[in-house]
Amino acid sequence: MLAAMSEEIKNVARQWYEQVWNLRNEAAIDRLFHAQGKCYGFPGPTDVLIGPEAFKQIHRNFVGAFPDLHMEVEEILAEGDKLAVRWNVKMTHRGDHLGFPASAKPVELGGSSFMIIRDGQIVEGWNYMDLTAMFQKLQGA
């Protein structure tokens, strides 16, 4: 029973990275992110994004800035309804959606995400990556 649940939530995470990020399927956000889901770790006016519409704004900014963004899931661990993912993303800064002009610089960014998944949807997610270093590199600092 627990092994089946672990595989089920791993599958939700795989869909999230493939559909939402690699295929840029915004409709998948509505399907995979709970209506009151909370997401931490992205820059914005608040410390937490709540619901699919708030997440879509961040998603649009990132795929607008990095239209060739590709995420590679390196490892997934699951226990109960909790999940840990280690990932790597490669992309090129081609859009000005981050609030400064596109630099055409390639970027590789590693990170990790921790999620709670229930009934096939992400209820909470915490994301860890060095966005400060990435922004400094892109702005030539």
Domain hosting residue 117, numbered range: 2-138
Instruction: Measure the CA–CA gap between 103 and 123, rounded to whole angstroms.
Output: 35
> Using one digit for the tens of pLDDT, what is the confidence trace for 41-71?
987 667 899 999 999 999 999 999 999 999 9
**Count: domains in the chain:** 1
Domain CATH for 10: 3.10.450.50
> Which two structure tokens, joined as six digits, stand for 100?
């400064």
pTM: 0.90
> Which two structure tokens, joined as six digits, stand for 3?
């092994």
Instruction: Indicate if the alpha-carbon torsion angle 92, 134, 85, 50 is positive or negative.
Output: negative
> Which two structure tokens, joined as six digits, stand for 22?
């690699």
pLDDT band at 132 (very low <50, low <70, confident <90, very high): confident
